[in-house]
Amino acid sequence: MSDTTSTLESVRRAKADAWRARGHLPFGNDPGPLNTIASIRATHDGHDSAALDAAHADTRYRVAGRVVAMRDTGKLVFAKLRDGSGEIQLFCSARDLGEDFSLLKEIDLGDIVLVEGRPMRTRAGELSVLAKSLRPLSKSYTPIPSEWFGISEVETRYRQRYTDLIANYPEVNEVFRARSIIVRALREWLDDRDFMEVETPTLNSVRGGATAKPFTTHHNALDLDLYLRVAPELYLKRLIVGGLDRVYEIGRVWRNEGLSTRHNPEFTILEFYQAYATYRELMDETEELVTHVDARLVARFPRFAHGRSFSLARPWRRVRMLDAVTHALQKRHPDLLGIWANGMGLAGWGRVRAAVLTTPSLQREHRDYLNKCTTAGETLFALFELFAESFLVDDYRTADDGQSVPVFIVDYPFDVSPLARKKDTDKQTAQYGEGFPVTFTDRFELFVEGRELANAFSELNDPDDQAERFRAQLGNRERGDEEAMDFDEDYIRALSHGMPPTAGFGLGVDRLVMLLTGQKSIRDVVLFPLLRPESDGR
């Protein structure tokens, strides 16, 4: 604590003692029934000064909140009061407050007070509460940042979110209110379609539901090593087996990955599963869900729709992964296109990979990534990530080229989709031709404005096929893949009882909030993001 801060706190503590001397607890309780600032504004925003004086001279409101600005003219004090619903000015005079007027000398910015008074308008026309009584409720020992300058230091904003919410009002406040609206709208859409909200375990004895490195923990009483869940998928599909045909969960998952503007080690996911549906039906439902949520958000906060660089106008683009790669190479690497076009056989895929590995512009880590690919399917996925994914925002746009459009990338290789259903052989042959070297799955991922937002597929319901894929995951683990799943014997047992044709969907809630509110970092939509511990100076 700096000397200046220590001095300011000492002054404020002395004022708290003065409150006690007057009979007011500096950390009091029992404020009694209150009116919200929003309700006062809603009632009187249309009333002019004459109307307020004539009809509301005897109206009394009790409002409590934090003092965030004060201006003392000697005979009058103007204060700005903020509660959870908004802000309003307090008009304080010695004539109206009597002995309570002297209390204002002991009120600091950040203090929480209770005021009783009537509505009025000042000469400038501002709706205010003419204070008739004043009661301190809570003393702020630590000065709050100036409302005019806020907090710009990013580390402080994330570490001291409570101060960020006070100082950077209303922008930060509105983002998190928007998040609440978004989550509520997700539930609303699902509940209206007879989905059942459920809760599944967050402590798992096996790794599964997604290819991701888990966090580990230990249960002392059982002497059991456990994993924080990386996804609720396998439990939700057990419920489908049990006859709950439409289920969803909105909850936290944990993945032991790096930090970035799009990744936080713990995040919120929505997953839902729908019996007797396919991934193609889910594309239509995804469009409905996201546009429904956005409509609810914009109705409350219209500003979030202004100046967007993307359009959510339906229908959205649906592009096969193979076509997305071909299109990207045609635009940016025509030298590879000829090799690509002739790479339909296994030997051809090898030539494609070899040519890409010698591309001068390719970064070393990308070469290393591609060099680990052992199959044509893995190679296709790597080429998509290297050459197409980051350019989706440029390649798929509105007719006037003014905004990017959402893109469903469909038909992912089986090699990178351990839980998705393979395309039926006749459908794959009809779409890709006989003997195509990649086995595809009925899977899509949704990308909006360059962000991977959702992942969905027709679920694998063949227990033998699923068991074989789990064994393949164990093989990947032996080769050093820290994200590979375990063999989940109970899940195989569940599938052996028969799971109906099912489609499953997963959406990153934090990324959806980022998209719809225009935030550039996931830390701006997570109230308390993971940070390194503060230095203790040693």
DSSP line for 257-300 = ----SS--SEEEEEEEEEET--HHHHHHHHHHHHHHHHHHHHHH
pLDDT tens-digit profile of 242-279? Answer: 999 999 999 999 999 888 888 899 999 999 999 999 99
Which structural domain, as residue segments, surrounds residue 60? 3-144
Contacts of residue 222, Cβ cutoff 8 Å, sequence gap at least 6: none
Confidence of residue 435 (pLDDT cuts 50, 70, 90): confident
What pLDDT score was predicted for residue 250? Answer: 98
pLDDT at 1 over 60: no
pLDDT above 50 for 537: no
User: Is 129 domain-assigned?
Assistant: yes
Q: Is residue 149 part of a domain?
A: no
- Quick one: 270 and 353 in the same domain? no
d(CA 430, CA 140): 70
pLDDT score at 240: 98
pLDDT of amino acid 538? 41
Query: In 108-256, where does DSSP find H-type helix?
Result: 154-159, 161-167, 171-191, 233-241
- Mark whether 232 and 281 lie in a shared domain: yes
Domain of residue 66, CATH code? 2.40.50.140
pLDDT band at 448 (very low <50, low <70, confident <90, very high): very high
Highest mean pLDDT (candidates 96-105, 348-357, 379-388, 423-432): 96-105
Same domain, 139 and 42: yes
Mean pLDDT of 16-29: 93
* Same domain flag for 85 and 179: no
Per-residue pLDDT at 86 exceeds 50: yes
Residue 127 and residue 11 share a domain: yes
* Among 226, 236, 223, 221, residue whose Cα is nearest residue 203: 226
Let me know whether 26 and 117 are in one domain.
yes
Tell me whether residue 331 is in a domain. yes
How many domains, in total, are found in the chain? 3
- Same domain for 281 and 341, yes or no, is no
Q: What is the CATH number of the domain that holds 230?
A: 3.30.930.10
The span from the CA of 428 to the CA of 431, in Å, is 5
171 & 286 share domain: yes
* 472 lies in some domain: no
Q: Do residue 304 and residue 193 come from a single domain?
A: yes
* Statement to judge: residues 190 and 270 lie in one domain: yes
* Same structural domain, 27 and 94: yes
* Residue at 537 is within a domain: no
Q: What is the pLDDT of residue 148?
A: 46
Q: Tell me phi and psi for residue 267, to 5 degrees.
A: -150, 170
Q: What is the DSSP string of 301-354?
A: -GGGGTT-SB--PSSPEEEEHHHHHHHHHHHH-HHHHHHHHTTTSHHHHHHHHH
Q: What is the CA 98 to chain-centroid distance, rounded?
A: 50
Measuring CA to CA, which residue among 191, 273, 252 is closest to residue 505?
Answer: 273
H helices of 455-537, where? Answer: 463-478, 489-496, 509-517
Residue 200, in any domain of the structure: yes
| pLDDT for residue 144 | 81
Q: Which of 80-84, 166-170, 361-365, 399-403 has the lowest mean pLDDT?
A: 361-365
**Sheet strand arrangement including 203-204:** 203-204, 224-228, 216-219
What is residue 76's three-state secondary structure?
strand
Region of poorest pLDDT, from 18-22, 27-31, 183-187: 27-31
Q: Average pLDDT of 319-324? A: 94
Please report whether residue 479 resides in a domain.
Answer: no
Q: Average pLDDT in the 351-374 region?
A: 76
| pLDDT recorded at residue 358 | 77
Q: Which residues of 68-99 are buried (b: 16+ CB within 10 A; e: fewer)?
A: bebeeeeeebbbbbbbebbbbbbbbeeebbee
